[in-house]
Amino acid sequence: MTNPYAPPRAAVLDIIDPNVQVVLADRGTRLGAALLDGIFMLPIYLPLVLSLAIGGSEAAGVEDSTGSAIVVGGFVLMLVGLIVWAWFTILYVSRNGQTIAKKFLGIKVVRSDGSPATLGRILLLRNVVNALLGIIPLYGLIDHLFIFGETRQCLHDKLADTMVIRA
């Protein structure tokens, strides 16, 4: 029987085990993950670029709809690629704070105290807010230069209260 006068209790899942040592990811590994994520995006946009190059030149010289069909096909292929990429990215980020490239390279995003970072924190604070701030001239350069600090946190990491560690 439980005590009706006892204070409420809750299971807290975001506290890291103090015995687990957190090792920061190397700067080169973080750079590699960013480059690899960019490389993974190339095949997604390639169908649209090729269809515009091929179909756009056909549509300019010919009055039939072959060129337009090629462009539409490339756009559809790009959309399918984006959906597949977004599904895997959201799956990995929500499970363990990793993009596809971070998963391959064995690093992940966590809160500054070592607890798991939520999908909302990673997508909204690290990506959306950072993209909005990107309209400020030289912000992107300054953001990435922060990685040379002792904590190896870029400015977007500091804004989101996150850090990148070895998984």
Per-residue buried b or exposed e for 34-51, using 16+ beta carbons within 10 Å of the residue's own CB: eebbeebeeebeebbeeb
CB 29 within 8 A of CB 107: yes
pLDDT number for residue 135: 95
pTM (global) more than 0.85: no
pLDDT number for residue 56: 65
Cross-strand bridge partners of residue 163? 110
pLDDT number for residue 8: 84
Q: Tens of pLDDT along 86-124?
A: 999 999 999 999 999 999 999 999 999 888 999 999 999
| CB burial of residue 18 (10 Å; 0-12, 13-18, 19+) | exposed
pLDDT number for residue 15: 59
Q: Tens of pLDDT along 30-40?
A: 999 999 999 99
Cross-strand bridge partners of residue 70? none
Across the chain, where does the E strand assignment appear?
A: 107-111, 162-166
The pLDDT confidence band at residue 16, using thresholds 50, 70 and 90, is: low
Q: Tens of pLDDT along 44-103?
A: 988 888 888 887 665 555 555 677 888 888 889 999 999 999 999 999 999 999 999 999
Give the 3-state secondary structure of residue 107.
strand
Q: Answer yes or no: is pLDDT of 25 > 70.
A: yes
